[in-house]
Structures are given as C-alpha cells and as structure tokens.
Amino acid sequence: MPVTDAADPYVLFDTWFAEAARTEPNDANAMTLATSTPEGMPSARIVLLKGHDPRGFVFYTNTLSRKGEELAGNARAALLFHWKSRERQVRIEGPVESVTPAEADAYFASRPRISRLGAWASLQSQVLPERALLERRLAEIEARYPGDDIPRPPHWSGYRVLPSRIEFWQAAEFRLHDRTTYVKDGDGWRVGKLFP
C-alpha cells in the first residue's frame, strides 16, 4: 500500500508511530542511531526515542560515551526505525543539538530510581575490567543518594536530531516498495518518491 502523501512528515510519523506502538511486541520507540567520528568512521547502536515534535527527535545518554564523543566531534546523525510487524521503516537524517538543561532535568527525574543511580555509576563505553567494579560503584552511589532525590549527573543529557531529510518506507508485494522522501526546504518540505 503506498504511503499517503502528507504535507507534514511529522503528522505521518505520528500516525505510523501510534500504529507501531499498538502492534510491535517490544519497544516501538527503539531506533538505530548512527553517528561517525570527525574522520568519517561510522558507528551504530540502538537507543530509545524519548520525545518528538516539529523541533526534532530526542534521545538521552551519557555525553562522555562513544556516541556522545562522536556527536561532540561531528554533530550530525541518522536514525532508523524498523517496525517489522507493520513492514515499515522511517529514516531520519540531520544535524544534532543538545536539549536544554531543563528538558534533561525533567526527563532524568521521570526515570526509575535505579536508572538514575546507574547514570552516575556507569562510565559508559569505558573498559570494564570486571562486573564487580560496576556493582561497587552502584553501591557507593546508592549510599550517597539513599532517597529519591538524585540529581542529574553533569555528563548525562539529551540530544535532538533536527531532520533535514525523512524517508518513509512501506513494504509492498514483489519488492515494489513505496518510498516517500521529505527534504527540508526553507520552512517547509519538498516531497518526492524514490524507486524501491
């Protein structure tokens, strides 16, 4: 079935995302995040979408992690949603900016307590010589913050991908898939189709 051509890709994304949330067995908000070093070496991993609106698509992480370091050196990224149960993909590409401290604080405060403690305990992407070291660090952080008042670590924040290009891919019989592209054009979008 061809993609319905909407003038606004965010409206189409909202529709697809809501449908995926109803049908995907796990984590409809899971997306591949591709970054690269300043020299162009790519890397990819799965992260979770934690917010989206016409400003962009938001995820949170340790800013000292590999992805954080890569974004510091090359603030561009690509996202890929693959909703197998719906036979759909959405590709998003564009520059990346940091969320505001207020946005990061609000999301951090909404996380489960153990996740907030883990953000302090984990030296994400650094070599871990033994699991016991992480467990000791977590115990130290639990002792430091025994209640629910756990501040956001200075090295933990969010990023917003600002789309310059979005592609919606819908599977079709005989691999005659439907591909609709939205390319940022001033304040609007240029809509087109691609061969499958």
Residue-range domain boundaries for the chain:
9-101+156-194
CATH superfamily entry for domain 9-101+156-194: Electron Transport, Fmn-binding Protein; Chain A (2.30.110.10)
Tens of pLDDT, residue by residue over 33-90, are: 999 998 999 999 999 999 999 999 999 999 999 999 999 999 999 999 999 999 999 9
Amino acid at 146: P
Which amino acids are annotated catalytic? 175
One DSSP character per residue, 20-85 reads HHHH-SS-TTEEEEEEE-TT--EEEEEEE--EEETTEEEEEEETTSHHHHHHHH--EEEEEEEEGG
Cβ burial, residue 61 (10 Å; 0-12/13-18/19+) = buried
On the question of pLDDT at 7 being above 60, the answer is yes
Tens of pLDDT, residue by residue over 93-152, are: 999 999 999 999 999 999 999 999 999 999 999 999 999 999 999 999 999 999 999 999
